[in-house]
Amino acid sequence: MGSAAKHVKGPWVPNPDTMFVRTADGRAVAAVYGNRNDCSVDECGRARARLIAAAPDLLAALKACQAALAMIDPKAIKSSSVINAFAQATEAECKARAAIAKAEGGAA
């Protein structure tokens, strides 16, 4: 597909008290502004920070879904077992659910 990722590896964590998204070791990834166009913390800014923080998880989940769906392709299914395809699809669905929950600020 494309070249290797050039973004900072996840996980990324939104700080609910500031407008920063950071790596697990504390490096800043993004600063997010709320509706007031200043540095104040509001729910809009928190939602944006959650979505940005979920980006690495969303990318990983999408890649897992793509791999699982590729196994269901009639051309590919001949070379792989249906059980393996089902297992990968189930794992991809779990990753996707967790990434969506992270982006939306809820539980998986």
pLDDT tens digits, residue range 56-68? 888 888 888 877 7
Residue 32 belongs to domain spanning: 9-53
The answer to whether residues 48 and 74 belong to one domain is no
Indicate whether 3 belongs to any domain: no
Residue 25 has pLDDT above 60, yes or no: yes
Indicate whether 4 belongs to any domain: no
- Counting the structural domains of the chain, the total is 2
The answer to whether residues 49 and 66 belong to one domain is no
Vertex 18 angle, CA 13 and 21, to 5°: 25
Residue 28 contacts residue 21 (beta carbons within 8 Å): yes
Higher local confidence (pLDDT), 46 or 75: 46
The answer to whether residues 70 and 40 belong to one domain is no
- Per DSSP, 18 falls in state S
Indicate whether 34 belongs to any domain: yes
Q: Are strands 20-23 and 12-14 parallel, antiparallel or unpaired?
A: antiparallel
Give the H or E element holding residue 15. none
Residue 45 contacts residue 34 (beta carbons within 8 Å): yes
Residue 76 has pLDDT above 70, yes or no: no
pLDDT tens digits, residue range 26-36? 999 998 876 66
The answer to whether residues 47 and 68 belong to one domain is no
Q: Give the CA distances from residue 101 to residues 40, 57, 97, in Å, rounded to whole numbers and listed in that order.
A: 25, 10, 6
The answer to whether residues 87 and 105 belong to one domain is yes
The answer to whether residues 29 and 47 belong to one domain is yes
- pLDDT band at residue 22, thresholds of 50, 70 and 90? very high
